[in-house]
Structure 1
Amino acid sequence: LIREGYSVLSADHGKAALEQVRSGSPDLMLLDVGLPDMDGFQVCAELRGFSTIPVIMVTARGEDVDKILGLETGADDYIVKPFNPKEVVARVKALLRRSEVTGGAGLGTTLSYHQVEIDLLRRRVTVNGDTVDLTPREYDLITFLLSRKEEILTRDEILREVWGSEHLDARSVDVHIRYIREKLSKNGAASYIQTVWGKGYRFALD
């Protein structure tokens, strides 16, 4: 990452990593699951209490249950050891690209549907004017769904457009959808993301 021109901070313990995020405001975190004081899942869960920076979980555990746990605690992506360093760089670049403040080509500056509005310049989602606190991946996902509102989108389509790959576990989509619904439900808008059984999801209101 340093050779690619990134400034890198490092921490050997979970608590130190959390403190660096609080004091240094990094753009992204590469988080190892195997830390000595608290595991990466605990770090990610605590991090999500005060920060929405993108998180890539790095783990030697290749079991699906561990991958899903990482996503459920708030990670945006995961990489299983051993890995190709070029893959890490590519995923870092992809996540940072998606979390940049941009207007969204061809979409104007806002997307809206009934109570829900997305400010594409500020990357902010509101329901009835109240801000919904989303992670970068959750923001990208709801933006994609709303940009194609009332269309049925398969999990493969969502993985390709939001994650940049069709070759990830489709349950990654399900986990992120569940978290978005939980956050929208606080503002009475959970029903906007509908499950179309056997096909995928759509952003619509019956």
Structure 2
Amino acid sequence: MRGTVVVVDDETKIRSLVRSHLERDGYTVLEAGTGARALELARVADLMILDLRLPDRAGEDVARELRAAGGLPIIMLTAKADEAQRIAGLRVGADDYVTKPFSLAELAARVDAVLRRTRGEAARTEPASFGGGMLRLDAERREVSVGDRDVDLTRAEFELLSTLSARPGRVWSRTELLSRLSGEHESSERTVDAHVKNLRRKLGDRSGQPQLVATVPGVGYKLAVERDG
């Protein structure tokens, strides 16, 4: 699975065309016809294709909220083709801009490019701290600590924690997490549960106490503490 994309447009036909094309490319695609629905789906998305003209609110306002909540990659989709509108979209947080009418192949290529760039940037980030210093993760050194205690994780456990910590609060399905475990693509979703159980034990999560890695019933898992700073 290459990732989850939310297509936000008030025209059902456009959403359907984009969805069909991206699904053929291996993406999971969700649809939203309003800004409110777009914000609901953002928590399970890797990227959003966002139309500026929505029935309930301006797409620029949706982009501002997404940026304030943690920076989901956004490709603006609109019929407004003038330079001023493109600049305005970029200033409120768009990573790229596509104008209608558009080529589905070009849009898919831009989705690929934005995700490669943003995932690459995330991999090169400085050591991150979460929950007021409760959890610290250094992706480049592959080091994790909880409080003043270093935590030794397996490759799979580290990959899971890195994925969850890239978007604190974002809910990841077991299928999505499984796809990010290199070398385990033929395993079952129970493999994810087993790795999460071991990860929690090593992080010190205990029953009845606030957990770093939380279960979202019927969906999957999320990192339950916010990134510091």
TM-score by length of structure 2 reads: 0.44
Decide which structure has the larger Cα Rg and report it. 2
TM-score by length of structure 1 reads: 0.49
